[in-house]
Amino acid sequence: MNYAIGIDVGGTNTDIGLVREDGRIVDKLNLKTNEYYDAELYISDMAAKIKELMGRNQVTDIQGIGIGAPNGNTYTGSIDKAPNLNFKGQVKLAEMMRGHIDTKVVVSNDANAAAVGEMVYGGAKNLDHFITFTLGTGVGSGIIIDRKLVLGSTSTAGELGHSIIIMGGRKCGCGRCGCLETYTSAGGIRRTALELMEQNPLYNGVLRNIAPENLTSKMVGDAANAGDPIGLQTFENVGTILGVAMANAVTFSAPQAIFLMGGPVHAGEVLMRPLRKAFNENLLNIYEDTVDIRVSELADNEVAILGAAALINM
């Protein structure tokens, strides 16, 4: 069996996993990202953890190290000005890591890594062309064409969460208006539920009893699945907008499948039913019956490490 290391750099935690070629995470260790202010020390400790993982699992050789990180740049192997990390400017992750461990090191952002993870370990093993959408704090996406990750000229291609789906629509954290993620991220779902409650003063269901600041997209999904009208209408709206966005994405790269991942996807059919309906209604006829809408085959709590490990196959 061959092994790779997959590292998920988050603002709080850095998860380091030893991944077997069949996609099993054999073992993992953790660093507290936010306790580090010195990138050299951070990467040196990361390398020590990798060696510890290899040692205690009797793995003497790895095929490479993949790192998924906010603003991870595949061309430069660096993290560039990530807003949630203590390290300022450009951190040359790949180069610094190779100073400790002489192997292939590939860096990318987490949404791109998730797409490569789906290709290597998930439901896209036999697909040449597909797109992934990750619904979470934001909406991430990764685009695979001819089994290659689309990086574009900047390594930052595949930001479909920031394509404008409604001109002049909701204000987005990025400063612009109408981005897909303002409607279909976890926060967007929350926002839709709150708007709908405001528009329906007579609504007196389960979501009304939750203080707005405590409302989560999971609660809205649970309510929808229990038949709550605001919950259902929220996912109807979210699914419809996402369905149109996916139909638009098809006009770009004519994929064989689009994969959905992330927490809100667990709402299940209350999301998927309106999504499929809007997708089919808005799909250009030449693409009819050529694209599957699917749920990721990677577990939410494993996709970050698996995606990162998969990067070494790029």
Burial (0-12, 13-18, 19+ Cβ within 10 Å), 206: middle
179: tokens are 């981005």
Classify burial at 125, counting beta carbons within 10 Å of its beta carbon; exposed 0-12, middle 13-18, buried 19 or more: exposed
Closest CA to 226 of 264, 257, 267: 267
C-beta separation of 255 from 222 below 8 A:
no
Q: How far apart are CB 174 and a second copy at their closest, in Å?
A: 6
Q: How far is the CB of 245 from a second copy (least distance, A)?
A: 9
CB-based contacts of 36, cutoff 8 Å, min separation 6: 42, 45, 86, 87
Nearer to a second copy, 158 or 262 (CB): 158
Q: Tell me the closest approach of the beta carbon of residue 150 to a second copy, in angstroms.
A: 6
Among the residues of the chain, which ranges form H helices? 39-56, 93-100, 110-121, 181-184, 186-199, 217-225, 229-253, 269-282, 303-310
Q: How far is the CB of 275 from a second copy (least distance, A)?
A: 14
The footprint of a second copy (CB under 8 A) covers 128-129, 143, 145-146, 148, 150-160, 162-167, 174-176, 241, 244, 247-249, 251-256, 281-282, 284-287, 290
* Listed residue (154, 100, 142, 89) closest to 117, CA to CA: 142
**DSSP β-ladder status, 139-145 and 130-135:** antiparallel
Smallest gap from Cβ 157 to a second copy, in A, equals: 4
**Residue 214 Cβ vs a second copy, minimum distance, rounded to whole Å:** 31
Of residues 65 and 247, the one with the C-beta less far from a second copy: 247
CA nearest 132: which of 158, 94, 101, 162? 158
Cβ at position 279, least distance to a second copy in Å: 11
Neighbours of 37 (CB within 10 A): 11
| Beta carbon of residue 235, minimum distance to a second copy (angstroms, whole number) | 17
Report the distance separating Cα 220 and Cα 49, nearest Å: 39
How far apart are alpha carbons 48 and 309 in whole angstroms?
17
